């Protein structure tokens, strides 16, 4: 059962609100992105490798600059400064062709119901998705669930964060922005280290959704509240 002092519910997106097989989704996404970039002269393997290096640079970000700056500096370092001209092309891709990646996800009508119920119950609701995508890409994925960024008090993206999961400072940055104390926040996600353990290091409580559980290191989760999405709704009193 949710503690009475909890005022803020934070939700991960991929694998939590939006069920998916992460590997299948990533493969589909990269395939679509490579198609978009091909007419500009970028070979798929080279492009994807550069995106991965940019992603790793964001994960290693230490708060010195926004994640989008870290990504594009690294990306341009791999492919040349001229690739910076592709940023508007990428944003258009995330608003349009990226919708093709929906085929690698599953429906979850409980997501919108839960977010709506949480707001009706008076909770502050935050979308704490790993900020490695632009805001437009987050908005597109939310649309697959019938949700919009306006349904949340804060949506993290690579433009407004300077840390990534699994850094506890990612959560600290959210707390500072929202004016919240860690003990009044619950993080709900599907990745043991990125969502539960990292949030715990920042002082937050956590709930693990096991429908698409990511536990790459086989960590013991017995002490962490966990269950299906339906179980979470009961746990939080949001049925």
Q: What is the mean pLDDT of residues 100-127?
A: 98
- State the pTM of this model: 0.97
Q: What is the mean pLDDT of residues 138-146?
A: 98
Strand order in the sheet with 154-155: 154-155, 124-127, 8-11, 185-189, 205-209, 226-227
Among the listed residues 55, 91, 58, the one whose alpha carbon sits nearest the alpha carbon of residue 162: 58
Encode pLDDT of 8-23 as tens digits. Answer: 999 999 999 999 999 9
pLDDT in tens, 122-132: 999 999 999 99
Half-sphere exposure in the Cβ direction for 184 (13 Å, CA) = 14
At residue 3, the pLDDT reads: 85
Q: Model confidence over 197-239: pLDDT tens digits?
A: 999 999 999 999 999 999 999 999 999 999 999 999 999 999 8
């Amino acid at each position: 059962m949710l503690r009475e002092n909890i005022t803020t519910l934070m939700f991960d997106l991929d694998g939590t609100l939006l069920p998916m097989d992460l590997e299948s989704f990533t493969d589909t996404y990269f395939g679509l992105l490579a198609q978009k970039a091909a007419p500009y002269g970028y070979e798929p393997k080279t492009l994807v490798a550069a995106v991965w290096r940019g992603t790793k640079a964001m994960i290693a970000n230490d708060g010195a600059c926004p994640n989008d700056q870290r990504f594009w500096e690294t990306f341009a370092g791999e492919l040349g400064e001229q690739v910076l001209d592709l940023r508007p092309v990428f944003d258009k891709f995330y608003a349009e062709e990226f919708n093709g990646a929906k085929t690698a996800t599953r429906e979850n009508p409980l997501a919108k119901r839960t977010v709506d119920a949480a707001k009706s119950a008076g909770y502050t609701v935050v979308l704490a998705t790993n900020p490695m995508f632009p805001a437009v890409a987050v908005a597109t994925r939310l649309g697959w669930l019938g949700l919009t960024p306006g349904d949340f008090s804060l949506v993290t993206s690579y433009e407004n964060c300077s840390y990534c999961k699994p850094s506890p400072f990612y959560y600290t940055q959210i707390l500072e922005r929202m004016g919240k104390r860690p003990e009044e926040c619950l993080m709900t996600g599907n990745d043991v280290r990125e969502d539960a353990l990292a949030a715990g290091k920042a002082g937050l409580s956590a709930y693990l959704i096991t429908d698409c559980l990511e536990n790459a290191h086989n960590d013991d989760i017995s002490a962490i509240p966990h269950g299906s999405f339906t179980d979470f709704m009961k746990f939080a009193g949001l049925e």
